[in-house]
Structure 1
Amino acid sequence: MSGHNKWSTIKHKKGKEDAKRGKIFTKLARSIIVAVKEGGADPEYNPSLKTAIEKAKAENMPNDNIERALKKGSGEGSASNYETIIYEGYGTEGVAVVVECLTDNRNRTAPDVRHAFDKHGGNLGQSGSVLFMFEKKGLIEITTEQAEEDELMDFALENGASDFESDEEVYTIYSEVSEFISLRDALQEKGYTFTACDLEYVPTNYSQISSEENIKKMIKMIDQLEDNDDVQNVYHNWDVPENLDID
C-alpha cells in the first residue's frame, strides 16, 4: 500500500502550502449535513457524524461553521438534498481512479468530473469499471513523533488493525470497516491524534506511470478534481514514485 501512503504524505505537505480553506470547509460542511440526515445529530450515536466533526476540527474549521452544518442537517434553515455519487475512470497510462462526490445537482457534477478526466489524458468509465480494484478500509494516520513504531503497531493490531505501514513522517494503520470505530476510539483514548482518520477506498493493486509528461497530467487531473466543491475524495492506484517532486 506504499503508493497510497506516499500520496497521502504528499497531499499533507502540499495542503499546508496551497489549501483553499473555503473549499475545504464547504466539503466538510456537506459531510456533516449528510451524516446528520442519515444518522441523527448526536455524534455519540452516529459514528459517521463523529468522524465528520473530527475531520472538521482537524482542519481548524470554526465551531460556528460546524454548528451551522449541524443545524442544516437537522432541518433548521435551508439545506440542499445532497447525495453520494461514485464516478470511476482511468487516468494516464491506465491508472484506476475513483471519485467520491456529494452533490445536490448531478447534472452539474457529472460534466465537471468528465471534463477533468478528458482534459488531462484520462477517460471516465462505467459504474463498476474500476471499483473492483479497491477495498473499503478504515485508514488512520499518526505522525511518527507521537510513538515508537513497534509500540504503536502492537497496540493497533491488538485493537483491530489489519495492516500497519510506516514512513519517515507518518504511521498508516488500516482496519476492516467493522473494526474502524473501535480502533479509532482505542487510539484516541491512548492519547494519539490523527492526521487522517476515515473510511477510504484502498487499492488492491498498483499501476505505474512511465513518462514525466503523463505524471504531470495525472497530478493536474487529481488537483482539478479535488478543487471541485462537489468532490469529496479522489482515490487511485498510482504507485507514486518516492522521489516525486510536485512543485
Structure 2
Amino acid sequence: MASLSGAFTPLARQLKHLGCAQCLRAFGSSAILEAGHNKWSKIRHDKAVKDAKKTAARSTFTKNIAFCSKLLGPDPNFNPQLAAAITAAKKGGVPKDKIEAAIARGQGRSSSGAALESLTLEAVLPPSIALIVDVETESKGRVLQDLSLMVKKANGSLGSSKFFFSRVGRVVFEKGESGLDVDQIMEDAIEAGAEDLENDQEGNIVVWTKPTGTAQVCQAIGPKFNLKMHSSDILWIANEDTKSKLDSSEELIKFTGLLEMLREYPDVQGVYSNVSRGSMSDEEWARIQENLDR
C-alpha cells in the first residue's frame, strides 16, 4: 500500500486538497482488487485447462476399451488387448462405471443393456467452422434436442458439413522394445489393408486405413510382430483446402465453450472440426485441440 500511495503522490495530494476522501480510498484499493480478480481468473483458467486435458485423456481410454471389446469380446480374461486397455484406463483415473459402460458400448449396448444407435451430427458455426459429432445413444431424439440447443447457443446451426472431411481409420501400435519401424512391417500392413504408415513423435507406428479396415490391421499386424496396440479410431479428418482460421473473438469463446460441453456429454464419442489456428494465444489454441479428436 505504501508503494502504491507513493507512486501516485501528486494525484493523492490533489484529491485530498479537493476533500475527496472517498474517491481517494476507492482509488487506493482498486489496483489491489483488480490484482485479486486476475489471480482468481488465472486459477479458474488453469483448472479449466487441467479438466479439459483429463476429459480428453479419459475419452481416449474409453474409446480404446470399446474398440477392444468389439474386436475380441467383452471378457478381459479371454481378451488380452481389452485387459491391457482396462489397466491403462484405471491408471489414468477412469471411474469403474465409465469402464463398464465402454465395454458394453463395444457390444452395441448401454450399461443398462439397451441397444445403442449411431448418430452423426453435422453443424456449421461462424465465421465458417464445420463441425461433426459422432454419437452412440439409446435415445436419438433426446440427443438431437440437447446437442441442437448447444450448437444454437454458440450461434451455430445444424447443416451439412461432411464434405469438409474425409473418413479414415487409424491404428497406433506402441514401438515398445521391439525396435521395429514402418519399413519392417509395411508389406504385411499393406496386405492387411493399410493405405499409409508413419511414425509419430513418440516413435509409435501409425497405420492409416479405410474406415472398415482397422480391425483387420489390428488382428494381422499386432500378433505377428508382437506389437501392443496403443489406440484405434475411425476419424473425420478435415480436408486441407476446407480448413478455416479462427481468431481471438467472441466466436472463439463460444466455439471453445461448445467443444467443452460436447466433450462432457456422455453419448458423444467423437468431436471433429475443420478449425485452424488464426490469431490467438497458445492457451486458447490448446483448449481447442484438447477437446477435438484428431
Question: 1:64 offset after TM fit, Å?
Answer: 8.8
Structure 2: unaligned runs, 5 residues or longer: 1-48, 288-294
Quick one: distance in 1 between partners of 2:134 and 2:150?
A: 14
The residue type equivalent to 1:196 in the other structure is S
| The one of 182, 191, 203 aligned to 1:153 | 182
Partner of 1:8: none
Give the number of the structure whose alpha-carbon radius of gyration is greater: 2
The residue type equivalent to 2:196 in the other structure is D
Partner of 2:267: 230
Partner of 2:201: 168
Quick one: distance in 1 between partners of 2:235 and 2:140?
A: 22
Question: 1:229 offset after TM fit, Å?
Answer: 0.7
Quick one: distance in 2 between partners of 1:52 and 1:117?
A: 35
| The one of 50, 55, 59 aligned to 2:89 | 59
The alignment partner of 2:183 has SS state of helix
| The one of 101, 122, 130 aligned to 1:96 | 130
Could you say what the CA RMSD is over the residues aligned between the two structures, in angstroms? Answer: 4.7
Quick one: distance in 2 between partners of 1:170 and 1:218?
A: 33
The residue type equivalent to 1:123 in the other structure is S
Quick one: distance in 1 between partners of 2:152 and 2:100?
A: 38
Quick one: distance in 1 between partners of 2:118 and 2:150?
A: 19
Question: 1:59 offset after TM fit, Å?
Answer: 2.6
The 1:221/1:28 distance shift into structure 2, 3 A limit, reads: same
| Greater RCO structure (CA 8 Å; 6+ sep) | 1
The alignment partner of 1:221 has SS state of helix
| The one of 147, 150, 165 aligned to 1:116 | 150
Identity %: 19
Would you say the 8 A contact 1:89–1:96 is kept in 2? yes
| The one of 131, 144, 169 aligned to 1:138 | 169
Higher percent of residues as helix: 2
Aligned residue pair count: 221
Quick one: distance in 2 between partners of 1:103 and 1:113?
A: 12
Would you say the 8 A contact 1:85–1:102 is kept in 2? yes
Partner of 2:244: 208
TM-score by length of 1: 0.64
